[in-house]
Amino acid sequence: MRGLWLLLVLVAAAKAERVFTGDQVIRVNAQSEEQIQLLQALETQEEWELDFWLDPVSTELPVDIRVPRSSLSAVTEYLRVHSIPYSVLINNLQELLDEEKAEMQMNQMRERSTRSFNFGAYHRLETIYSWMDTLVAQHPNLVTKEEIGRSYENRPMYVLKFSTGGVKRPAIWIDTGIHSREWVSQATGVWTANKIATDYGTDASLTSLLNTMDIYMLILANPDGYAYTHSNDRMWRKTRSRNSGSRCRGVDPNRNWDAGFGGPGASKNPCSDSYHGPSAHSEIEVKNVVNLIRSHGNFKSFISVHAYSQLLMYPYGYSCRNVPHQPELDSVGRAAVQKLTSLYGTRYKVGSICNIIYQASGGSIDWSYNMGIKYSYAFELRDTGRYGFILPANQIIPTASETWLALKHIMEYVRDHPY
């Protein structure tokens, strides 16, 4: 009997959701290169278990760190001793997570009783997948759901294909949620897919675009990670694959592409959130996308949507040298951001990944650009750090609506500039 009881305790512990009671998110504004190096030293300090939401890369950019309660006094002392100023963005992370969870549960009950889907709420993977079937049923002549492969934990990976016919027409790729904890990304993907489906036939520009091109949307680019953020650890970013010889799981799927793989801005440490994996395309979630893009062979734009920081970026990340199409990519990006800002005044920065944030190798849009997909872009959605990854659900629709104006501008430009 005692053995059974122990087994039940172990099962409960294995399923237990990680709590962040007393954890704080602090913002550090480094004032010198020396302070940047002192912060980079913290990244390798494994016993403090710090989670860098924004990495220390330059004095131009803030550094956001989730500090576990158990490490708070040590970290604040370290900053004080080195005269590094900081402020507290989130005083108790668990309080925000509890609010987020309660809101999701309330919404779930409301959706069940009204048999509706609320685009201004966060949803679990199963709910998103079943909503996809509803969208296809409502727009059978435009939308299909295609399985492009399975994830490491054998979940289906679905793309929504928006097409008015033809075979391997010029196409636009949009993925959201490659980093699982960036929930506003997946939620923006859901809203956007619905917008495309409902505006076709009424919005003249979108209609003309879909009469000549297809749009592919992968809303859950990292399904295992996303499911895990709901069941076990809201702050999980990577895939869920096992790493041989390590107790730590997962690979950063946006450091796993064959573009400067294993270079600066990616880690060799399997316990790191930016671990690049054992080899390029080792992650089945990445490989599934690579296989689709390659076999299709006619994608003209590749857009990946992340959060947070309010940036619109183009290649390269793995190198700071300008790509051949830099002037064009920059001007299209700036025009897109102007449209985005026109709705609520949200400010975005535009530039290459390496020059606007930091050198990061193995990223998806570097790979797509090198594959000949000229219009390759990455968005970092709202906000600039007040909530970070825990963006309140009441900002989903405003975020998605403004982002749509930028996406639409890019897609129209791609339609009007064939190559």
> Each residue of 345-358: pLDDT tens digit?
999 999 999 999 88
- Evaluate if residue 177 carries a pLDDT over 80: yes
Predicted local confidence at residue 7, as pLDDT = 43
pTM of the model: 0.95
Establish whether 182 is a catalytic residue. Answer: no
Predicted local confidence at residue 15, as pLDDT = 60
Predicted local confidence at residue 386, as pLDDT = 96
Across the chain, mean pLDDT equals 95
Predicted local confidence at residue 227, as pLDDT = 98
Distance CA 44, CA 40 (A): 7
> Can you spell out the DSSP letters for 265-276?
TSBS-TTSTTB-
Predicted local confidence at residue 396, as pLDDT = 98
- Evaluate if residue 13 carries a pLDDT over 50: no
Mean predicted confidence (pLDDT) in 223-240? 98
| Confidence grade of residue 45 (pLDDT, cut at 50, 70, 90) | confident
What confidence tens digit (pLDDT) does each residue in 116-165 have? 999 999 999 999 999 999 999 999 999 999 999 999 999 999 999 999 99
* Residues of the chain above pLDDT 90, percent: 94
Q: Is residue 233 within 8 Å of 181, Cβ to Cβ?
A: no
The position carrying tokens 């069940």 is: 112
Query: Which of 43, 100, 182, 380 does the annotation list as catalytic?
Result: 380
Q: Which residues contact 184 (CB under 8 A, 6 or more apart)?
A: 307, 308, 381, 382, 391, 395, 396, 399
Q: Report residue 344 as tokens.
A: 């609520």
| Confidence grade of residue 44 (pLDDT, cut at 50, 70, 90) | confident
Cross-strand pairs, 351: 313
Peptide bond into 216 cis (omega under 30): no
- Phi, psi (deg, nearest 5) at residue 302: -135, 115
